[in-house]
């Protein structure tokens, strides 16, 4: 069975849980009536499952081909699929109408992004990075840069990349050495080597727009001396068409555990010509605009790979005949029962499913905050939404990719020996998703961003607002007998998160190592609490639908999954709280040489 896009769950979230039609008076949302959205989802499902999904194993097995002439050939079929992507207008879905975009809310675009990523993660990274470059120029570029570059990035005719990492600096961009020398004509000459550049060179687009971090000659050391440049592979000519070949070269590809279909390039700038984006020495903050968006996209990859892997595992479990149910044959006429009769197989599937559906809701909810933070007329709501967006981004990225890897590994496990072979798709899902825990800031960096910056920002305003919102939900819904277990579960999780937060306030400020030592467990405790909230909201909708006579088993299943979440996933909250409050003393007491 090939990938089945979860259109029904997307519709449930957008229509019933987030009720996006409530926002019809906001820019973008007016064009996103549920009629339109459902049509888009159906088309997106068709495109991703029929065009992208069949190429996923091809990309994995074949990989990309680098030639000494610095060209890179993508796997068979990628180029044609990319042409269809552009033709279908998919890259433009959520982009600014001023530059050819369709201007739909990000939360709607997210559904397409999830499907693309499930169908073919390596492929979906090409337009994903292009969108990142688009965002950076949209936010920081001059009007001339916007009109020169954005239409081609929005359409997907040109690709985009982020040139950050250098061999000696990844997380610590303050160390970067790539230099930029002003030429007096507004342009700069850029020299240096960048590594791990996704989509840094390939054959699917007519031009590639590199967004490059470099240090202008004489700029201060460290992060305050970094500027952002546009370095196009072909310098646009007077008509805005690809002109002179710039001296930016792909010197090779990385061999990687996964995402073989994506070209991970070493990029050499040999006095390449670049143009400054925004102000001198302010490149990092612009890059972080791009990065924050990218982080949500990486969290999405965690859910997307988990979904694809879950589907493969559930299908396998219903088809593979092996052994008998512990309570007597369930397929007495067959040689054995399908392995889905086994509780432990269901445990793995349901663990994954609860995290996928809860995580999907969390992603969508967070993306909606992003939309509201830009588009809502009420400043208080904009601020609250921006607070949430900032607070939740590291949780979406770190928590959902950690859980995504677990789900992909469990899907391998459900397959038994077959899962370890490359004849079944699950090995690839597990290998592909592994990078999501690392890039755009490792999950440890996410956790530190959460405890070190996001919590403390504005005197803890964001997290306090979240606690108040949860409290209000609990107060409003606590009297509903059927919803009670969900409300109680949520209240319990929130109480633990609050304990953890207070512990951090008391112990993290006096000794930052305590914050660092607590960070990953705190991030997980936060994720578990956020998912408790999502499950409570989803359960409330499902109960209302059932009360209103809905006969679709979708709603009963949703409730069962929510209950399973409370019983089988949420107990980890206690354990994370115990660990995070144990402090850093033992961890930091050992001398480095003891490791």
520 binds a copy of itself (CB under 8 A): yes
Site for a copy of itself in 389-418 (CB under 8 A): 405, 409, 412-413, 416-417
8 A C-beta contact, residue 262 and residue 199: yes
Q: Where does residue 216 rank: exposed (0-12), middle (13-18), buried (19+ CB within 10 A)?
A: buried
582 binds a copy of itself (CB under 8 A): yes
Q: One symbol per residue from 147 to 186: x for binding a copy of itself (CB under 8 A), - otherwise; what is it? A: ------------------x--xxxxx-xx-----------
Per annotation, catalytic residue among 166, 201, 307, 440: 440
Q: How far is the CB of 433 from a copy of itself (least distance, A)?
A: 11
3-state SS class at 180: strand
Tell which one of 517, 525, 536, 541 touches a copy of itself (CB under 8 A).
517
Q: Where does residue 255 rank: exposed (0-12), middle (13-18), buried (19+ CB within 10 A)?
A: exposed
298 binds a copy of itself (CB under 8 A): no
340 binds a copy of itself (CB under 8 A): yes
What CA–CA distance (Å, rounded) separates 424 from 49?
17
327 binds a copy of itself (CB under 8 A): yes
Of 47-55, 85-93, 442-450, 485-493: span binding a copy of itself (CB under 8 A) = 442-450
578 binds a copy of itself (CB under 8 A): yes
How many Cα neighbours within 13 Å face the side chain of 457? 18
435 binds a copy of itself (CB under 8 A): yes
- Joined together, the tokens standing for residue 424 give 């079944």
Q: How far is CA 24 from the centre of its chain?
A: 26
Torsion of CA 412, 416, 420, 424, to 10 degrees: -70
Of 80-88, 272-280, 284-292, 338-346: span binding a copy of itself (CB under 8 A) = 338-346
What CA–CA distance (Å, rounded) separates 580 from 503?
9
512 binds a copy of itself (CB under 8 A): yes
499 binds a copy of itself (CB under 8 A): no
8 A C-beta contact, residue 236 and residue 244: no
Q: How far is the CB of 413 from a copy of itself (least distance, A)?
A: 6
254 binds a copy of itself (CB under 8 A): yes
What CA–CA distance (Å, rounded) separates 425 from 53?
11
What CA–CA distance (Å, rounded) separates 320 from 419?
12
- Joined together, the tokens standing for residue 262 give 């994506």
503 binds a copy of itself (CB under 8 A): no
Q: How far is the CB of 346 from a copy of itself (least distance, A)?
A: 5
Reduced 3-state DSSP string for 370-418 = HHHHHHCCCHHHHHHHHHHHHHHHHHHHHHHHHHHHHHHHHHHHHCCHH
CA nearest to 385, candidates 453, 462, 469, 451: 462
Q: One symbol per residue from 347 to 386: x for binding a copy of itself (CB under 8 A), - otherwise; what is it? A: xxxx--x---------------------------------
DSSP state of 49: I
Please state whether beta strands 179-182 and 207-216 pair in parallel, antiparallel, or not at all (unpaired).
Answer: parallel
Phi, psi of 191 (to 5 degrees): -135, 130
Q: How far is the CB of 109 from a copy of itself (least distance, A)?
A: 27
318 binds a copy of itself (CB under 8 A): yes
319 binds a copy of itself (CB under 8 A): no
443 binds a copy of itself (CB under 8 A): yes
Of 79-87, 226-234, 291-299, 422-430: span binding a copy of itself (CB under 8 A) = 422-430
563 binds a copy of itself (CB under 8 A): yes
Q: How far is the CB of 452 from a copy of itself (least distance, A)?
A: 8
Q: Other C-beta atoms within 10 Å of 451: how many?
A: 26
Tell which one of 211, 265, 345, 536 touches a copy of itself (CB under 8 A).
345
User: Does 440 qualify as catalytic in the annotation?
Assistant: yes
What CA–CA distance (Å, rounded) separates 594 from 496?
34
36 binds a copy of itself (CB under 8 A): no
Site for a copy of itself in 256-285 (CB under 8 A): 256-258
Site for a copy of itself in 43-102 (CB under 8 A): none
Tell which one of 270, 343, 468, 472 touches a copy of itself (CB under 8 A).
343
How many Cα neighbours within 13 Å face the side chain of 521? 24
- Taking the least distance from each CB to a copy of itself, the nearer of 548 and 586 is 586
């Amino acid at each position: 069975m090939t990938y089945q896009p979860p259109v029904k769950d997307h519709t449930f979230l957008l229509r019933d849980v987030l009720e996006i039609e409530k926002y019809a008076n906001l820019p973008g949302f007016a064009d996103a009536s549920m009629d339109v959205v459902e049509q888009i989802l159906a088309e997106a499902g068709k495109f991703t499952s029929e065009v992208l999904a069949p190429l996923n194993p091809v990309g994995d097995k074949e990989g990309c081909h680098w030639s000494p002439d610095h060209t890179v050939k993508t796997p068979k079929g990628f180029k044609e699929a990319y042409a269809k992507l552009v033709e279908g207008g998919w890259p433009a879905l959520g982009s600014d109408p001023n530059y050819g975009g369709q201007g739909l809310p990000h939360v709607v675009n997210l559904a397409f992004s999830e499907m693309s990523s499930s169908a073919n993660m390596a492929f979906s990274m090409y337009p994903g990075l292009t969108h990142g470059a688009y965002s950076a120029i949209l936010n920081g570029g001059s009007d001339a840069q916007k009109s020169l570059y954005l239409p081609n990035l929005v359409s997907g005719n040109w690709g985009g990349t982020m040139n950050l990492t250098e061999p000696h600096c990844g997380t610590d961009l303050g160390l970067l050495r790539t230099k930029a020398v002003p030429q007096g004509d507004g342009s700069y000459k850029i020299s240096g080597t960048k590594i791990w550049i996704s989509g840094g060179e390939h054959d699917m687009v007519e031009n590639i727009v590199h967004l490059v971090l470099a240090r202008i000659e004489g700029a201060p050391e460290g992060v305050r001396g970094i500027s952002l440049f546009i370095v196009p592979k072909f310098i646009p000519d007077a008509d805005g068409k690809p002109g002179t070949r710039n001296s930016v070269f792909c010197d090779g590809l990385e061999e990687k555990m996964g995402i073989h279909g994506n070209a991970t390039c070493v990029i050499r700038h040999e006095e390449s010509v670049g143009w400054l984006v925004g102000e001198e020495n302010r490149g990092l903050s612009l890059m972080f605009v791009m990065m924050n968006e990218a982080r949500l996209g990486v969290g999405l990859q965690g859910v997307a790979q988990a979904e694809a892997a879950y589907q493969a595992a559930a299908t396998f479990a219903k088809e593979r005949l092996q052994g008998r149910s512990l309570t007597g044959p369930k397929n007495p006429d067959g040689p054995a029962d399908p392995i889905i009769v086994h509780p432990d197989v269901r445990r793995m599937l349901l663990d994954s499913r609860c995290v996928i559906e809860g995580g999907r809701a969390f992603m969508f909810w967070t993306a909606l905050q992003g939309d509201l933070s830009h588009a809502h007329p009420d400043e208080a709501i904009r601020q609250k939404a921006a607070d949430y967006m900032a607070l939740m981004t590291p949780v979406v990225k770190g928590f959902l990719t950690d859980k995504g890897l677990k789900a992909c590994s469990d899907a391998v496990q459900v397959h038994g020996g077959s899962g370890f072979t490359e004849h079944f798709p699950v090995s690839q899902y597990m290998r592909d998703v592994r990078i999501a825990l690392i890039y755009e800031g490792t999950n440890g960096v996410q956790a530190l961003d959460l405890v070190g910056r996001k919590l403390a920002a504005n005197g803890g305003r964001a997290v306090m607002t979240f606690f108040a919102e949860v409290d209000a939900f609990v107060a409003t819904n606590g009297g509903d007998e059927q919803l009670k277990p969900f409300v109680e579960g949520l209240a319990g999780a929130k109480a633990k998160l609050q304990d953890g937060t207070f512990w951090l306030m008391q112990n993290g400020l006096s000794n930052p190592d305590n914050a660092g030592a607590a960070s990953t467990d705190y991030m997980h405790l936060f994720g578990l609490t956020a998912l408790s909230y999502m499950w409570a909201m989803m359960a409330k909708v499902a109960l209302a639908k059932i009360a209103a006579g809905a006969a679709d088993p979708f709603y009963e299943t949703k409730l069962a999954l929510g209950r399973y979440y409370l019983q089988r996933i949420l107990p980890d909250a206690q354990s994370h709280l115990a660990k995070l409050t144990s402090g850093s003393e033992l961890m930091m007491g050992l001398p480095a040489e003891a490791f």
